[in-house]
Structure 1
């Protein structure tokens, strides 16, 4: 059985080079099509039926972020959450960012 990104550990390197654009495009194929990869960042907007659901999702993503020590940019309002992921220290994307994105999708699926 092939392990999906969401089942991999989130491993973040704090040194080195970001992924080459072609490698990022290839990894993005393993994410939900709602994710966009551009300018060295992954971005997705999630929708909810009310503020409380959006807040609960943000809190769950926050727990994941603390657990793996990788913190996305999160903005939310009534029924809408935007997540932006990249590795600040390398100024771009690495495999761990895609794993983190897949884990965020898994949280969303279980909301």
Structure 2
């Protein structure tokens, strides 16, 4: 089976179904610890900690490069020594496999 980090995000069409709660649980098992499901399965979130602002900014820029490559863009909140990442598929206002692919790629930075 292909690991999430090795998959590519594929565009989904508006109105595509969001993942069922059981599917979300299964995808979470394939991610590193720290990802949490928020807002009744609407998005996933993880906080990354760093020694200083520069390290957090460097990490944020690496996320941005992957997001551009994948065509799937997370919400990123940068502060001193901390980066919070929120992932969901805006087009369907919920979770899609692409969100877990991006999460895995971010974890592998």
2:41 paired with 1:38: no
Q: Which has the higher helix share?
A: 1
Superposition pairs for residues 6-85 of structure 1, below 5 Å? 6-15=5-14, 16-39=16-39, 40-85=42-87
**Partner of 1:44: helix, strand, or coil?**
strand
Runs of 4+ residues deviating >4 angstroms: none
Equivalent-residue separation in structure 1 for 2:105 and 2:13 (angstroms) = 20
Aligned length: 106
In the alignment, structure 2 segments of 5+ residues that lack a partner are none
TM-score (ref. length: structure 1) = 0.90
Q: Answer yes or no: is the 8 Å Cα contact 1:48–1:80 preserved in 2.
A: yes
What is the Cα-based RMSD across aligned positions, in Å? 1.0
